[in-house]
Structure 1
């Protein structure tokens, strides 16, 4: 838990000293010793109280197979301790050094086409390589033993962005490990042949050694083989995480362990909800992707990280002060963006705000990636913004340790459905699982309604409305859970291509939407995907794209909320709702986009009585979230616009922002306010 980390911070008084953590990845090995003292001075000036250290330092720490050099790291650790700055110490295993890959090229990953990924960048290692594992764990043990008692060590940082570049490895090591994983999952070849439907295309296996990863094939590889390889690849990385963690817990049982997830954009290879139980607190990296939903996506990712963390506080390990270096065009952030982006993560539960990196590199692949201290140095607008943010975070110390308060709406995000729904040989290759979920989230933001991103194993009953877009994979137990949810008063909303397959990617027979057919009270005989550029009209102003369904209503208590007004299914139902128990189950059969969903959602939320807690004039302009502590709730209000917005009727004490005596809150463009409201 973050509270354990806080209790270890230099100068902390157990858990009784609330504070938000602030800092960055620190890479002193890139700089001469003469810079180190200045770094600590500037960190103190900026309010930095925590740095992640040693992330890419393996080659410096171990210059040869039997040669170690910890002197420089000892010196940096001592300097940071003298400056009152805690260290999240990395295990440094993210990128193997040249001596290791030269002596053991068999640790290098192999692509699906048989190409070796050579050294020269980073993460050039196989998650299943026993040789790499042996050397990596030796390094972890040396680090843990050396720094176990160091007073500035507050947390361990396992590897770095596990799977960012090496999630899928198709080597012989991976093939052997994949077969072991399959034996553990299925037990017998008979069970595997059934799950993989190997009667199709003469793929029946008679020996385990015949099974390979889904390497480049003449046509579409077996879909369940593909899905299982995704599961296996995530598990292989998780296994490496656990192997490092076990050594750290053995030697330093009181030091919490984390690793940085990448809940952002299209990063989907790692099943983070499954990983979360393996670490002491969840950490995440996030970078803004410019576009029309850029800050909605930031909010979405931060919200999803909170859902993965179970609503408990988490650690923003990396984001950027300004431009990055790896997008086609790397746009600098505008004045105010640095603070707004950071505080939006805090609004969704982050108790630590950290950047990549502390000092902008003078050379190397990321020299044009922004940092807390830019190339221009401390006499710069960017460093002044960094310093101001440090002061802001210090003023928000009272909310440290508070958890996310459940929102009335939950959006179900399922890694299994994400993986399976976007595989090949499907009705359309244009489906974008994450974009569909983001559109629902953006529509709720436009209506001023709070929503939580949740995972299938969370407490779904905390939410009055549960939206499950493209819930493609529905095992029997999940179907029962959703049925109980509606019967007990919950209101489920799901969409096209949901309920179609079980956990083995086998179609639920009898008509779509398969496992959810009876719950929804509809039946679909055939999908109606749309080609790019085609659209269909629905009742009212909405238009649909991507997908349509030929729906037949099968239950008398299913009502039609909207019909198609054009296209192949003109006159047939497009949106339906069935009353079940004291709840309801709604089906949306086409992609409506943010605008169409904003128009439709009030009708879908009405049976649950869900309304915005913002005044009418602020809805769509302001995002609101709530964190709850032991004696107060902390309400965040974030200006989503480039104009000044006023929000009347706000109660409480402003920790951040301008709140008039009459309860009117004034938000400058892109500004964030935090209001503390005592619990009754």
Structure 2
């Protein structure tokens, strides 16, 4: 049964926490929400202690009034189960439910997500409050969606207590068919005398004197993700039983600082895929992170998605919490819409005056309506109303980037050839030139259907199973264009090195073989020569590479590997398989990717000046061209004849002007079919 969000147009709102304010403030909230164009708010996320003041005793009087008030004012509710923050009475009754860190310390309650995900007492209590909410509000006209929990794994992705250890063993027995020998073989436990003779001997990878077993650590990451997923599905099923037609969601955190959950496994379990995304103050080009995150979210959702949280200004949890520059709030929000978001929401509606997040920005800031943020919030509400017809449209892409959480986890385990390798940094280094060129990108699993793409990129796929490796190989052999980054294909799904030389699983399709990696020290470049720009260099990695069917495009020009191939290409019918055995400097990498995608027949969405982000969403009867100026200079961009700029309502001919630091969204007549 397909369950979709019934809020019309592009949803707009944020987390609403009226319980933090006197009730006389609520009427003002409603008036200002209407003024801002708010159409949906998330409520009840952290209200467990008020909804259930003692075990099994409920007080829904406040929530009754809140939901009734929202409905009276035409605002939909994304009603949350409050299970991310159990109340103090729960922990007094069940101290065994508190989480334990890898050093064996039991953490106390007094913040949020201070529970063990494997705790039976927590699961029972969480399902009880979810059931009580479902029973009371399943038919309430304000409830448009269930918001299950909040940011699973944000603070308790792993618990190392004995209860978690027992749950881990159950998970392992299921994974390995209750065959302890199979586990020992998968983990390679003959190394360092780690062989297990009884399941009870297996513990979580707690703090130990040396490097823990890599496969042990990897399976632990998989277990932790699955354990939290089981909590989500359990709550969702309780809600679904009471209200079968109401969609359910939870908020992912596809952002630079979070990697705890395998969202490829999570996404199919959500009716509406949603995300929380916050900028890092230290990132000078955070607009690229917004784009990458949005493309990944759209790929997880298989289409439009919902931005559940971001910030109007500063956050409260970074060393320095930077306010947003003029116009940045609007650019950030509409850049998410450009990448497929069908709704924009913030944390939070009204800035808190007390509590741990009192210095986090909000739609209605401490300064009130006499503030730049409020003016921007109202303007954004009008923008989203003007863009209502964009809802449901997609972002067609001819380029796919392979993304895999297992590969990310494995690459960043200890004792790699280089501890300088960061999965997200490697992916972003390849993504950025495409973003600058206006190339639409999907993200895919290694085993995904690749037939619709002209070009598939794997910036790093350190870990890949046989199915994924065969899928990528077959794509190239059928004439697709494949480009693979260094230290890919090195290990299988159990973190076992693929023997015979590197890059392991991809040696044959790439037509190369390396017998030894030569990682580079931080700040140590190696010069490159060949079909690359003058002064080209590589960083992070080099390796002794031999051609076995490929041709050299570039070579190392100095150092111990001077003259050895560094970038290679092997023809496969109408396509080719490329290998980059180093990380080229940004200009060189951009030049290489331009060549690769041009050979593959991939062209930009449209011609635009540098610094103007370009994305096209495809609707049923029209296309929507999003143009975001990040330079502050403005630009003129060619458009199809007969177009209309939606934010102003003006008909445009041949080109549209994007004001400095602003956005234009152009409805263009449909030209051609398909991608």
TM score, norm. by length of structure 2:
0.96
User: Distance in 1 between the 2:572 and 2:417 partners?
Assistant: 30
Cα deviation, residue 581, structure 1:
3.5
Secondary structure of 1:344's partner? helix
Cα deviation, residue 260, structure 1:
0.2
Secondary structure of 2:79's partner? strand
Q: Is the 1:2–1:351 contact (alpha carbons within 8 Å) kept by the matching residues of 2?
A: no
1:287 corresponds in structure 2 to 278
1:195-249: CA deviation from partner (whole Å, max 9, x where unpaired): 0001111111111000011000110000000000000000000000011011011
2:645 corresponds in structure 1 to 654
Instruction: Determine whether 1:383 maps to 2:374.
Output: yes
1:440-498: CA deviation from partner (whole Å, max 9, x where unpaired): 11111223323223333443222211110111112111111112211222100011110
2:300 corresponds in structure 1 to 308
Instruction: Determine whether 1:252 maps to 2:243.
Output: yes
Instruction: Determine whether 1:522 maps to 2:516.
Output: no
Aligned match for 1:674, one of 660, 665, 668: 665
Instruction: Determine whether 1:113 maps to 2:107.
Output: no
Cα deviation, residue 273, structure 1:
1.3
Instruction: Determine whether 1:97 maps to 2:87.
Output: yes
Secondary structure of 1:273's partner? helix
User: Distance in 2 between the 1:27 and 1:606 partners?
Assistant: 51
Secondary structure of 1:579's partner? strand
Q: Is the 2:464–2:492 contact (alpha carbons within 8 Å) kept by the matching residues of 1?
A: yes
Aligned match for 2:165, one of 175, 180, 187: 175
1:350-389: CA deviation from partner (whole Å, max 9, x where unpaired): 1110000000001111111000000011122211110110
Aligned match for 1:340, one of 323, 331, 343: 331
Q: Is the 1:447–1:619 contact (alpha carbons within 8 Å) kept by the matching residues of 2?
A: no
Cα deviation, residue 319, structure 1:
0.3
5+ residue gaps, structure 1: 10-17
Aligned match for 2:591, one of 567, 587, 599: 599
Q: 1:491 to 1:619 in 2, by over 3 A?
A: farther
2:418 corresponds in structure 1 to 428
Q: 1:253 to 1:658 in 2, by over 3 A?
A: closer
5+ residue gaps, structure 2: none
Which deviates more, 298-307 or 669-678?
A: 669-678
Instruction: Determine whether 1:138 maps to 2:128.
Output: yes
User: Distance in 2 between the 1:656 and 1:649 partners?
Assistant: 15
1:389-412: CA deviation from partner (whole Å, max 9, x where unpaired): 00110000111111222x222111
1:67 corresponds in structure 2 to 57
1:209-228 pair list within 5 angstroms = 209-228=200-219
Secondary structure of 2:434's partner? helix
Q: Is the 1:623–1:640 contact (alpha carbons within 8 Å) kept by the matching residues of 2?
A: yes
Secondary structure of 2:70's partner? helix
Instruction: Determine whether 1:268 maps to 2:262.
Output: no
Aligned match for 1:33, one of 12, 16, 23: 23
User: Distance in 2 between the 1:104 and 1:84 partners?
Assistant: 41
1:570-609 pair list within 5 angstroms = 570-609=562-601
Which deviates more, 625-634 or 341-350?
A: 625-634
User: Distance in 2 between the 1:658 and 1:587 partners?
Assistant: 47
Which deviates more, 356-365 or 452-461?
A: 452-461
Aligned match for 2:289, one of 283, 289, 297: 297
Aligned match for 1:53, one of 1, 19, 43: 43
Cα deviation, residue 650, structure 1:
4.5
Cα deviation, residue 654, structure 1:
1.6
User: Distance in 1 between the 2:232 and 2:311 partners?
Assistant: 25
Instruction: Determine whether 1:235 maps to 2:226.
Output: yes
1:132-162: CA deviation from partner (whole Å, max 9, x where unpaired): 0011110000000000110000000000000
Q: Is the 2:400–2:455 contact (alpha carbons within 8 Å) kept by the matching residues of 1?
A: yes
1:322 corresponds in structure 2 to 313
Secondary structure of 2:646's partner? strand
Secondary structure of 1:665's partner? strand
Secondary structure of 2:5's partner? helix
Q: Is the 1:234–1:271 contact (alpha carbons within 8 Å) kept by the matching residues of 2?
A: yes
Secondary structure of 2:583's partner? coil
Q: 1:661 to 1:154 in 2, by over 3 A?
A: closer
Cα deviation, residue 116, structure 1:
1.2
Which deviates more, 61-70 or 219-228?
A: 61-70
1:357-506 pair list within 5 angstroms = 357-405=348-396, 407-506=397-496
Cα deviation, residue 120, structure 1:
1.6
User: Distance in 1 between the 2:115 and 2:198 partners?
Assistant: 29
Secondary structure of 1:144's partner? helix
1:549 corresponds in structure 2 to 543
Secondary structure of 2:109's partner? coil
Which deviates more, 23-32 or 455-464?
A: 455-464
Coordinate RMSD, CA, aligned: 1.5
1:610-649 pair list within 5 angstroms = 610-615=602-607, 618-649=608-639
1:25-79: CA deviation from partner (whole Å, max 9, x where unpaired): 0000100001011101100110001000000000011111132111011000000
Cα deviation, residue 636, structure 1:
1.2
TM score, norm. by length of structure 1:
0.95
Q: 1:71 to 1:593 in 2, by over 3 A?
A: farther
1:581-631: CA deviation from partner (whole Å, max 9, x where unpaired): 43211000111243331122222223212232432xx24322221222221
User: Distance in 2 between the 1:632 and 1:473 partners?
Assistant: 41
Aligned match for 2:524, one of 531, 534, 539: 534
Q: 1:673 to 1:293 in 2, by over 3 A?
A: same
Aligned match for 1:509, one of 499, 514, 528: 499
Q: 1:432 to 1:676 in 2, by over 3 A?
A: same
Cα deviation, residue 313, structure 1:
1.0
User: Distance in 2 between the 1:661 and 1:247 partners?
Assistant: 51
Secondary structure of 2:592's partner? helix
- Count of aligned pairs between the two proteins: 664
Q: 1:534 to 1:2 in 2, by over 3 A?
A: farther
Q: Is the 1:445–1:620 contact (alpha carbons within 8 Å) kept by the matching residues of 2?
A: no
1:4 corresponds in structure 2 to 4
